[in-house]
Amino acid sequence: MGNIFHPALTTFSGMTDLLYLRDCYLREFEAIVINVKDEGIVLDKTAFYPEGGGQPSDSGWIKWGMHRSQVKNVLKKDEHVYHVVEGLMPSKGTLVRGIIDWEKRYKHMRYHTALHILAGVVYHLYNSTITGSQISEDKARIDFTLEDLGKEKVERIEFEANKIVDEGRDVKIKFIPREELVNNLQLIRIRPELIPNLPVLRVVEIEGFDAQLDGGTHVSNTREVGRIKILKTVNKGKFNKRLEIVLM
């Protein structure tokens, strides 16, 4: 089970500069191949999001010279980001252009921000934190430490979430020193032991509403999310309830 926190919360992962952490709207970029392994291609920088934290990886293409190969999957392993390519692979030292499958990425961004809105609503209304989540292109789910999730509570959560959407609040990214968490414990919505021991952490803030530690991709304004519809709830245990959503 994933959650909406990704452990790659600094601007670097091993030797790869994670461009999406600073700019979620970057669709194309240039990079140098620094390694080619069985697991995939390692670049000195990338805008491709690697699978993790309940968010699927990006896909797209890598171009160099007259060649173009499809990026089928992107994985983070042993502090490296591997681009799994179908077809010809560029050699080490090659300058390549990465192209994100934007339609897929943007759907993930909308759903990820929707889950943050729901997480904020449930946290502020019921002081409940996240136990897991999963995003896809056409739906998403999120689990909370709730003992009950009746019809009236679900209706209120959906109403309050769509209120935040309609208010068109800006979604901002910032980086904070780890020691600031001591004075900002409300940023933590997962088990504290899952927070990596890193000097700098990434925060996604919905202006005037909520802020959470997070390493995923997001839209820049809540209006971009669209209408949040709670399809159903699932009882995952006495203190674990799931919301399944679609965006209209």
Taking only the tens place, the pLDDT of each residue in 126-163 is 999 999 999 999 999 999 999 999 999 999 999 999 99
pTM (two decimals): 0.92
CATH topology assigned to domain 12-101: Elongation Factor Tu (Ef-tu); domain 3 (2.40.30)
Q: Which residue has the tokens 């709670």?
A: 230
Q: d(Cα 188, Cα 169) in Å, to the nearest integer?
A: 21
Q: What is the pLDDT of residues 191-230, one digit of tens each?
A: 776 677 788 999 999 999 999 999 999 999 999 999 999 9
Domain limits of the chain?
12-101, 105-247
Instruction: Please determine, looking at this structure, whether the domain spanning 105-247 carries the CATH number 3.30.980.10.
Output: yes
